[in-house]
Amino acid sequence: METVYSMKNLESKISNGQNKSTNLERGETSDIDEGVEKEKLMENFYQKYFETKTEKARKISLENLKEMKERGITTEQFLDYLCQKHGFLLHGSIHEIADSELKSRWKKIFATNKSAIAIMRSIYSNINVNLEYPYCIDENDPLILEIHTPPDGKFISVERGYIYVIDASGFKDDPEGSWQFVKESGKVGFRIIIETEKSDFRYPIKISNDFDLDN
C-alpha cells in the first residue's frame, strides 16, 4: 500500500530530522570542547611542575594529582599526554628512588610510552613471579595482566607506587612497534616522580598459581 504524506507531515518529519542532526552536532561539539579543556588543564599542570627548574627531581604526589582528578582527568590520561605531547618515556617501580637517577647493574634501562604499563609496574612487582601482558596492545590484544605465582599464590603489590618521567633520547623501541623502549646504559636521569595508587590501574587481572621458582 502506498503511503501518502501531507505537506504538514513532511514539514514535521523534516523538522524532526533537523532537530536530531542539530542535537548530534551539539553533542560532538560538546565532546570536542571538553577534550580541548582537558588538554589545556593538563598542559597547565605540566608547566606548573615541569617548567620550573630545580636541582633535584620534583615529585607530584597523590595530593597534587587531586587537582586534576577532580576535573575528570585520570593519572593515566595525564601520563599519556606527557608521552604523546612532550615525548617523554615512563618507568614504573614499587620503590621510591632517593636520588635523581635510574640505575641498572645489567647496563639496560627499560621504559615505556604506554602509561598503563608504567602504572602496572609501579604497583605490581615481578619478584618471584612472572607478570604476563602483551607487548603490542590493541583492540585484538587488549591489556590484561596475568600474574603467574608459585603454588602458594603469593605476590607483591603495593597501595602506592612511583613513575619516573625520563627523556627519550638514546632509547630504542624494542621490540619495534611495542610499548617497550630500552637504553644500553647503567644509569639514566629522570625529570620528575609521579606517585600512583592501586586504583590507577584499571585493567583486568588474572592470577595463575603455576610459576615454578626452580626453573
Strand ranges inside the chain, DSSP E = 58-60, 88-93, 101-103, 109-112, 130-132, 145-148, 160-167, 172-173, 180-183, 187-189, 192-197, 205-208
Residue 118 has pLDDT above 70, yes or no: yes
Q: Is 151 a domain residue?
A: yes
pLDDT digits (tens, 9 = 90+) for 144-191: 999 999 999 999 999 999 999 999 999 999 999 999 999 999 999 999
Look at residue 49 and tell me if it is in a domain: no
Asked if residue 6 is part of any domain, the answer here is no
* Span 92-98, average pLDDT: 95
106 — pLDDT class (breaks 50, 70, 90):
very high
Residue range of the domain that includes 198: 56-208
Please report which confidence band the pLDDT of residue 82 belongs to, taking 50, 70 and 90 as the band edges: very high
Looking at the domain assignment, is residue 65 inside a domain?
Answer: yes
Peptide bond into 142 cis (omega under 30): no
Decide if 89 is inside a domain. Answer: yes
Band (33; pLDDT cuts 50, 70, 90): confident
- Cα 88 from Cα 53, distance rounded (Å): 17
Q: Is the pLDDT of residue 43 over 80?
A: yes
Mean pLDDT of the chain: 89
Q: Please indicate, yes or no, if residue 25 is contained in any of the structural domains.
A: no
Residue 23 has a pLDDT of: 56
Cell of 178: 611495542
Please state the φ and ψ torsions of residue 135, each to the nearest 5 degrees.
-75, -35
Determine the pLDDT at residue 35: 85
Query: Per the domain annotation, does 67 fall within a domain?
Result: yes
Mean pLDDT of 91-102: 94
Q: What is the pLDDT of residue 11?
A: 54
pLDDT at 131 over 70: yes
What is the number of domains present in the chain? Answer: 1
Cell for 133?
601482558
Residue 17 in any domain: the answer is no
